[in-house]
């Protein structure tokens, strides 16, 4: 004959509420930090993340693309080997020798990636490709955290 357990049911609920509050605080802190980074950069932006951070970013920004668009992020891209060719593809020579289609290119490209050497190599390759295509780059770094 089996007897029903009389363990209090309130404990799991309390733990769940505490976990939700902790996640909410982490989400707000991450969102505020991202907002500080985006606000520190003037002009239109392209936000580039590595694949693993892209999913986490959607957990921080629950409003979706509206939050990014409100903070002048016109493009959201995943860091890939092929680079950001869709921006350079819009640049073509006009009849008078001037570049046309430059308005499609964001003024700033912001990389948010994990500190891994292969990812740094991909970023370096993209910057080198942009320099070859005549796009001016100005390196700037923001240290969000230190990783020994």
Span 102-120, pLDDT tens digits: 556 788 889 989 889 999 9
Nearest by Cα to 90 from 71, 70, 75, 79: 75
- pLDDT computed for residue 22 by the predictor: 78
> Considering the domain boundaries, does residue 23 fall inside one?
yes
Nearest by Cα to 41 from 134, 129, 136, 141: 141
> Considering the domain boundaries, does residue 65 fall inside one?
yes
> Considering the domain boundaries, does residue 51 fall inside one?
yes
> Considering the domain boundaries, does residue 88 fall inside one?
yes
> Considering the domain boundaries, does residue 4 fall inside one?
no
> Considering the domain boundaries, does residue 79 fall inside one?
yes
- pLDDT computed for residue 18 by the predictor: 60
- pLDDT computed for residue 89 by the predictor: 46
95-to-23, 90, 92, 98, 103 alpha-carbon distances in Å: 56, 15, 10, 7, 17
Tokens of 100: 């046309």
- pLDDT computed for residue 62 by the predictor: 81
Which residues of the chain carry a pLDDT beneath 50? 88-91, 100, 137, 144-148
Q: How many CB atoms lie within 10 A of CB 31?
A: 16
- pLDDT computed for residue 119 by the predictor: 92
Number of folded domains that form the chain: 1
- pLDDT computed for residue 100 by the predictor: 47
Buried b (16+ CB within 10 A) or exposed e, 42-58: eeebbbbbbeebbeebe
> Considering the domain boundaries, does residue 10 fall inside one?
no
Note down the domain range covering 117. 15-132
> Considering the domain boundaries, does residue 138 fall inside one?
no
CATH number at residue 52: 3.40.50.2060
């Amino acid at each position: 004959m089996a007897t029903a357990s009389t363990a209090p049911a309130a404990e799991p609920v309390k733990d769940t509420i505490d976990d939700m509050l902790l996640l909410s605080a982490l989400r707000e802190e991450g969102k505020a930090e991202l907002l500080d980074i985006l606000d520190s950069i003037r002009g239109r932006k392209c936000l580039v993340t590595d694949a693993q951070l892209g999913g986490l970013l959607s957990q921080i920004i629950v409003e979706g693309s509206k939050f990014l668009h409100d903070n002048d992020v016109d493009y959201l891209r995943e860091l890939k080997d092929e680079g950001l060719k869709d921006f350079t593809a819009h640049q073509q020579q006009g009849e008078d020798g001037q570049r046309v289609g430059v308005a499609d290119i964001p003024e700033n490209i912001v990389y948010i990636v994990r500190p891994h050497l292969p990812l740094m190599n991909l970023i370096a390759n993209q910057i080198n490709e942009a320099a070859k295509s005549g796009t001016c780059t100005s390196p700037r770094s923001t240290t969000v955290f230190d990783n020994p």
